[in-house]
Amino acid sequence: MSEGFGLVVRFTLRDEEAAAAFDELCARTLEGIKESEPGTLTYVTHVPEGEPLVRVFYELYADRAAFDAHEEQPHTKHFLTEREQYLAGIEVTFLDAVKGKVAAQQ
């Protein structure tokens, strides 16, 4: 698994209205990821139990180059610019895979 590269991002949103708009932005961004990013193996948004204004992203890429390609996509650049208006905070943790199991791509 040494080639895998991932990250966990925790977003804290300003309020319920911001959360709804952020979720819509995420849905539009995900369409671009599904259509044009074969190196993005997993990209999932979670809402932690009991934290309705928090979103946690788990992202897994084939390698660092796939992550870099993701960052250069128009849909990702749009997301990075637009997200700021909805956020109260952000925390990013980069992950280097050591061992694990990854589902086969379909």
**Rounded mean pLDDT, 28-56:** 97
Q: Which segment of 68-77, 81-90, 91-100 scores lowest on mean pLDDT? A: 91-100
Neighbours of 37 (CB within 10 A): 19
In percent, the amount of the chain with pLDDT more than 90 equals 86
Asked if residue 103 has pLDDT above 80, the reply is no
**Rounded mean pLDDT, 73-81:** 97
pLDDT for 38:
95
Neighbours of 89 (CB within 10 A): 11
Q: How does residue 22 score in pLDDT terms, banded at 50, 70 and 90?
A: very high
SS3 91: strand
